[in-house]
Amino acid sequence: MPRLTDARKELRRTQIAEAAVRCFSRNGLERTSIADITVESGLSAGSIYAHYRNKADLVRAAAREVLAKRADVLGEYAAADAPPSPDELLSRLIAAIDPAEARVGVQTWGEATTDPAIRDIVVDMTDRMRAMLHDCVTAWLVKVEHHEPPRAWEHATPIAHRVMALYQAELLYTALRTPTEETPS
């Protein structure tokens, strides 16, 4: 049956989503038209609508992609044998920030203030990141600072909160600092 193989279908979806992220990073969530994504992806409008129900669906996918990538970076450190100190953790997270994704991330925050679907995605990803940060800090307290595990978990809470806040602030500064790149001609 001549359906597209799942791998190929997923490939198209990410091809579209990545093109969308590039467009969003340049022009913002609402200012990019389907036509823009059309030329950026090399596909046609019809094709895009074969893979995403509508524009909102595509925006959600893009938001998830950007936020998930940020969470992944954190996941690596959370699983490390030698847990970094909070300061070290923070500066590594900051070093891993990609300006284009930072911009889309901040746009996502703005959209989340009015769109419940985006809001859920952002809140979910934020909670997940904070939890990983919490694990990471707890591991550091136990392994390096030799705290007792149950107390360490409590101690880690405000520290994780602060690291998260400082990271998000840095994300905002990066998004604002970086000039929005020109369309490649």
* Interaction of residue 49 with DNA, rule CB under 7 A: yes
CA dihedral 146, 149, 154, 160 (to 10 degrees): 70
Contact partners, residue 104, CB within 8 Å, separation at least 6: 21, 24, 25, 29, 62, 63, 66
Using the contact rule CB under 7 A, the part of the chain among 6-14, 80-88, 122-130, 160-168 near DNA is 6-14
Rounded Cα–Cα distance for residues 140 and 150 (Å): 13
Q: Taking CB within 5 to 8 Å according to partner kind, which of its own copies, DNA, none is near residue 95?
A: none
Using the contact rule CB under 7 A, the part of the chain among 45-53, 117-125, 131-139, 160-168 near DNA is 45-53
Q: Which is nearer to DNA, 41 or 138 (CB)?
A: 41
Are the C-beta atoms of 92 and 84 separated by less than 8 Å? Answer: yes
Q: Taking CB within 5 to 8 Å according to partner kind, which of DNA, its own copies, none is near residue 184?
A: none
Rounded Cα–Cα distance for residues 125 and 129 (Å): 6
CB of 94 to its own copies, least distance (A): 12
Rounded Cα–Cα distance for residues 83 and 126 (Å): 21
The single residue listed with the structure tokens 């998830």 is: 64
Rounded Cα–Cα distance for residues 89 and 157 (Å): 15
**Terminal Cα-to-Cα distance of the chain (whole angstroms):** 40
* Interaction of residue 146 with DNA, rule CB under 7 A: no
Q: Taking CB within 5 to 8 Å according to partner kind, which of its own copies, DNA, none is near residue 183?
A: none
Residue from the set 10, 56, 149, 177 that interacts with DNA by CB under 7 A: 56
Q: Taking CB within 5 to 8 Å according to partner kind, which of DNA, its own copies, none is near residue 50?
A: DNA
User: Which residues contribute to the site for its own copies (CB under 8 A)?
Assistant: 26-31, 103, 106-115, 119, 122-123, 126, 162, 164-166, 168-170, 172, 175-176, 180
- The residues that touch DNA, with contacts defined as CB under 7 A, are 1-5, 8-9, 12, 32-35, 42-47, 49-51, 54-56
